[in-house]
Amino acid sequence: MSGRTGLSHPRPGYHGAADVPHSRPERTMTGEPQVTLDPQSLNPIEEKLRVPLEEQLTSALQAATERVRHAYTGQSLPEVTAWLFEETKAGLHPDIADGFHPDHAELTQVARSIVAG
């Protein structure tokens, strides 16, 4: 999942929050969603943290995908997309969750795979 992301813009007055505005959920060859951050949007310090952050975001998204898939009972695509977003955020450290803003179209693609079965 290549994509744009920035970690350098925490919310004013909120210290320590990483801003991840454009992480891009995608599917790997195995069909598992994966998050990739655009290294060009990161400053040097953030670039050093990119791999562990991508791993944490990917792990949270994969776990959320499994939880939503197992609990899915026919909800609409927009509902599943919102549900997937909230479940992913719930699996992240609060500072990262506060700044997690995935690419909506890419997250919808992951939700679409759940809806399609």
pLDDT at 74: 97
53's CB contacts (< 8 A; 6+ apart) are: 7, 18, 20, 37, 96
Q: Whole-prediction pTM value?
A: 0.75
pLDDT at 24: 62
pLDDT at 67: 97
- The structural domains of the chain, with segments of one domain joined by +, span 24-116
Query: Mean pLDDT per segment of 10 residues, for the chain of length 117 residues?
Result: 31 36 55 84 85 93 96 98 97 90 92 94
65's CB contacts (< 8 A; 6+ apart) are: 32, 33, 84, 110, 114
How many Å from the N-terminal Cα to the C-terminal Cα in the chain?
A: 22
pLDDT at 105: 92
pLDDT at 28: 52
